[in-house]
Structure 1
């Protein structure tokens, strides 16, 4: 059983994130809280449940204490919202990427287990934008392992070289996040 407690600090706006992670043979559970000041104080809490191979099964996200978004993967790679309605637009996605946290980059890094120099195929990932009314859309992302501790992440025109620790958790997300604990 792996247990980790991590914190990140945003580099371009006032925000911090605290994450408690438990991983074992029965799966992975990540409980995170992001507190940010973007015009007004905002608290975003999320819980991600994944299988033992780090493929996401469920995302629950709440802003300012109210559950706002629930997505669950079942029946293979079919996604459903909190009311049980199928989200056909998200079919085939395995990971989620919550825009306000560097943790969600760890999900494909751990699941793929790339060797140095190896690149992923384009991954179809659910991208959740907190600042745009919790929109959730499928996007393509790609990871290339450049070194033992560096992955190049790209999505559309955006590219960043992420420094990670031995467990694949982001240490430095250039210009956006830095791990502080």
Structure 2
């Protein structure tokens, strides 16, 4: 469906990303190599997304300064099993947000189908790959115009206007990510 490369600006990274669609789902696969302060990292992720753009399962492999980690999650009904453990704090969550990629912004942008200037809050599983932890987070998305969305982290007051293409993939996330190539 689409292959592209994002450049991480804040964390100095390159991400080779591919998304495919079959009859009932999307498969997103990516590999990221980068540097953040005192960390050199490599991250591979695979996300299975249903036809409504909500996450069904994910796997993330990372190597940070030579230390390897794995994180895998699967949604069963409304519950999340992550690395073999039920996490009830994520019941009903439909999205994940992986810290080192702009792709996970595509999930709520495509699923919510927002009309202009009608913000919507969502709950996400925020995965901070570089610090090896995950937690619930509250975010808000507002469609400002066709292809332009305001992203807000409700808990930290961080906000940014994100520019996306016709299938919701990030073109520009100012100060954090820029698309530099696509097929």
Q: Give the unaligned 5+ runs of structure 1.
A: none
TM-score by length of 2: 0.90
CA RMSD of aligned residues (A): 1.5
SS at match of 1:179: strand
1:124 counterpart residue number: 123
CA gap of 1:66–1:131, structure 2 versus 1, over 3 A, is closer
Q: Looking at secondary structure, tell me which structure has more strand per residue.
A: 2
Q: CA deviation at 1:124?
A: 0.8
Check the 8 A contact 1:26/1:52 in 2, yes or no: yes
The 2-side partners of 1:66 and 1:4 are apart by 29
CA offsets, 1:107-142, max 9 Å, x none?
00011111223322x211000001111x11111111
Deviates more, 1:157-166 or 1:7-16: 7-16
Check the 8 A contact 1:60/1:67 in 2, yes or no: no
Check the 8 A contact 1:141/1:154 in 2, yes or no: yes
1:22 matched to 2:14? The reply is: no
Check the 8 A contact 1:24/1:52 in 2, yes or no: no
CA gap of 1:114–1:24, structure 2 versus 1, over 3 A, is farther
The 1-side partners of 2:176 and 2:158 are apart by 13
TM-score by length of 1: 0.91
1:11 matched to 2:9? The reply is: yes
1:52 counterpart residue number: 51
Q: Which structure 1 residue ranges, 4+ long, deviate > 6 Å from structure 2? A: none
Q: CA deviation at 1:66?
A: 4.9
* Aligned partner of 1:69 among 68, 71, 78: 71
